[in-house]
């Protein structure tokens, strides 16, 4: 009986080998190697260990499709050598010259593992965001499909081309496709015109009417970046035609578009094509981590931290935009998502422990009138006001127990301004008004302790409450002028997405922003991408 079973098995191997154009020894070698990997064994056993990628003298159609598809992954910011390296090319050359069964089996397993790696990297990202930054708080998206099942279906011949499979794995977010197209353009430009551009060095500012040799360099650099070339009989003179191009450049880099070539302008214009490719790659990687927030139903509040703006989106339309202030470099605003559920007019401000001990208590020790001057009071844990004169402020130390809160009353000088917008989260982050209005005129608006301040809070409140008949312009103004808090629950709860993107396609063209928290640089290092000292 055992002998009979053996002959059946060998006969089956012979048939399978004929179908696969590989011999029995190769099938045995593949089976032996695959058995060492439980995941691959579960895949290959479903089609009797026939190879997916190879035949006895080279690549199958699927194998050729896989190798050809790797030519395009550089436009996804990935390196094709990560998925088919020199050793694999060497093995393939040996096979094409009449390789051993063990060589075929080895390359077959390598290619399957590399396909799984590429599928994961393309669909979910190369870097695990949880290991990237303490301020990235959005969980990596879950795979929409089992990558192992995809490989099995390729082996069973149930899919289209390998390129079709990989295309389905790419993020469907419109932003991703736009960045991919931009990266393709930049890489092709680099191949056609390898750059060797020196940084433009200039100390000080230049305005219309000024003359300097560096202005000629600016003209040439802007033209090389794709901006309209402006000829002039005096190329070293800053004229009005050049000013228009400079303003366009400033707007696309998030700078004040005043035409003044100052420190921020010199910093931005030295972003070379190599650094730009890195900027595109790291932003595409972030989009691979994220679910497609653009397709989420209902209204959305979008805050892109490096852009210093907040947008309110209904459907595909941005119906409201306002300038924003975000966290300082040492009080970074985290990346996360939550649901906005209510707002509070004329809010109190209960000081966080960090601000309490690092800023306010030291100020009280220096000035006994500090609390009075800032309209603050001390309350116990039940919210009852306490006579602050009975507290021995001079003897307080941070390691001591302080059984009170310090609270700032509603007023025009309240740190939260006259309204706050709440989306409960573990990070105590919310959007709010602010009395520091002058900060919105700055190019770089990193001044908060992590929360997001907005320039037009009353207008934003009106948008959120537009469907409620009791909340018109006058009633909102009255609520913002109260001496006591008033909470208003929202009937429609928009999703709040706080993001960190430094490159995207916008209405004004391709946009680039400064890497204010050095998150691009940190991610580039994890991805093995070099950046220059002029990285913007």
Q: Report d(CA 338, CA 340) in Å as an integer.
A: 7
Alpha carbon 250 to chain centroid, angstroms: 22
Alpha carbon 128 to chain centroid, angstroms: 13
Residues 6 or more apart whose Cβ sits within 8 Å of residue 432 = 347, 416, 417, 419, 420, 421, 451, 452, 453, 454, 457
Q: Report d(CA 66, CA 72) in Å as an integer.
A: 11
Q: Which of 97, 100, 92 is nearest to 29 (CA)?
A: 100
Q: Which two tokens stand for residue 384?
A: 């009852």
Contact (Cβ atoms closer than 8 angstroms) between residue 57 and residue 153: no
Site of tokens 């998030």: 254
Q: Report d(CA 334, CA 321) in Å as an integer.
A: 21
Pairing of strands 336-339, 495-499: antiparallel
Cβ-in-10-Å burial (0-12, 13-18, 19+) of 41 comes to middle
Q: Which two tokens stand for residue 400?
A: 């001591």
Q: Report d(CA 210, CA 276) in Å as an integer.
A: 30
Helical packing angle, 147-155 and 162-169, nearest 10°: 170
Q: b vs e for 223-237, b when ≥16 Cβ sit within 10 Å of the residue's Cβ?
A: eeeebeebeeeebee
Q: Report d(CA 149, CA 155) in Å as an integer.
A: 10
Q: Which of 124, 128, 138, 127 is nearest to 170 (CA)?
A: 124
99 phi, psi to nearest 5 deg? -75, 165
How many residues does this entry show for the chain? 536
Q: Which two tokens stand for residue 31?
A: 């089976």
Cβ-in-10-Å burial (0-12, 13-18, 19+) of 494 comes to buried
Q: Report d(CA 452, CA 420) in Å as an integer.
A: 10
Q: Which of 274, 76, 249 is nearest to 186 (CA)?
A: 274
Q: Which two tokens stand for residue 259?
A: 């035409």
DSSP string spanning 103-171? HHHHHHHHHHHHHHHHHHHHHH-SS-GGGT-TTB-SPPPPPSS-HHHHHHHHHTT-SS-HHHHHHHHS-
CA-based R_g, the chain, Å: 30
To the query of whether residue 451 is one of the catalytic residues in this protein, the response is yes
Beta bridge partners of 512: 503
To the query of whether residue 18 is one of the catalytic residues in this protein, the response is no
Alpha carbon 262 to chain centroid, angstroms: 28
Q: Which residue of the set 253, 374, 432, 449 is catalytic?
A: 432
Q: Which two tokens stand for residue 205?
A: 């500012």
Catalytic residue numbers read 432, 451
């Amino acid at each position: 009986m055992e002998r009979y079973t053996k002959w059946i098995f060998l006969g089956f191997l012979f048939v399978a080998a004929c179908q696969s154009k590989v011999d029995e020894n190769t099938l045995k070698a593949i089976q032996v190697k695959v058995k060492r990997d439980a995941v691959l064994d579960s895949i290959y056993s479903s089609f009797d260990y026939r190879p997916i990628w190879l035949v006895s003298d080279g690549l199958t159609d699927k194998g050729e499709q896989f190798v050809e598809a790797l030519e395009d992954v550089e436009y996804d910011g990935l390196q094709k050598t990560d998925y088919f390296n020199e050793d694999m090319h060497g093995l393939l050359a040996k096979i094409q010259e009449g390789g051993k069964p063990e060589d075929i089996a080895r390359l077959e397993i390598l290619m399957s593992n590399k396909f799984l790696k590429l599928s994961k990297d393309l669909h979910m990202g190369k870097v695990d965001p949880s290991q990237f930054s303490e301020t990235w708080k959005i969980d990596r998206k879950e795979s929409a499909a089992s990558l192992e099942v995809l490989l099995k279906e390729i082996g069973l011949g149930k899919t289209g081309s390998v390129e079709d499979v990989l295309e389905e794995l790419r993020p469907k977010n419109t932003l991703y496709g736009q960045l991919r197209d931009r990266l393709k353009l930049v890489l092709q430009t680099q191949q056609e015109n390898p750059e060797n551009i020196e940084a433009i060095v200039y100390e000080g500012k230049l305005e219309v009417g000024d003359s300097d040799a560096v202005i000629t360099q600016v003209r040439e650099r802007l033209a090389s970046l794709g901006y309209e070339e402006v000829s002039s009989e005096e190329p070293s003179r800053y004229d009005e035609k050049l000013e228009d191009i400079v303003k366009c450049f400033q707007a696309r880099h998030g700078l004040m578009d005043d035409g003044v070539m100052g420190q921020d302008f010199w910093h931005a214009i030295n972003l070379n094509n190599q650094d730009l490719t890195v900027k595109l790659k790291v932003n595409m990687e972030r989009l691979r981590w994220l679910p497609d927030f653009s397709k989420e139903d209902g209204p959305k509040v979008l805050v892109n931290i490096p852009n210093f703006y907040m947008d309110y989106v209904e459907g595909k339309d941005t119906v409201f935009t306002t300038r924003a202030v975000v966290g300082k470099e040492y009080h970074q605003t985290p990346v996360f998502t939550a649901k906005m559920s209510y707002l509070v007019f004329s809010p109190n401000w209960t000081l966080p422990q960090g601000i309490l001990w690092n800023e306010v208590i030291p100020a009280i020790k220096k000035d006994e009138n500090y609390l009075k001057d800032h309209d603050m009071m001390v309350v116990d844990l039940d919210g009852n006001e306490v006579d602050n004169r009975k507290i021995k402020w001079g003897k307080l130390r941070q390691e001591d127990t302080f059984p009170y809160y310090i609270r700032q009353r509603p007023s025009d000088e309240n740190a939260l301004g006259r309204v706050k917008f709440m989306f409960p989260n573990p990070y105590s982050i919310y959007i709010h008004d602010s009395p520091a209005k002058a900060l919105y005129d700055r190019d770089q608006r990193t001044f908060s302790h992590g929360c997001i301040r907005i320039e037009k809070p009353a207008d934003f409140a009106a948008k959120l409450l537009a469907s409620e008949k009791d909340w018109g312009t006058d009633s909102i103004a009255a609520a913002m002028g109260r001496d006591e808090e008033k909470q208003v629950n929202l009937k429609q709860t928009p999703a709040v997405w706080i993001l960190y993107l430094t490159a995207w396609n916008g209405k004004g063209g391709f946009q680039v922003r400064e890497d204010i928290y050095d998150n691009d640089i940190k991610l580039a290092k994890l991805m093995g991408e070099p950046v220059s000292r002029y990285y913007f």
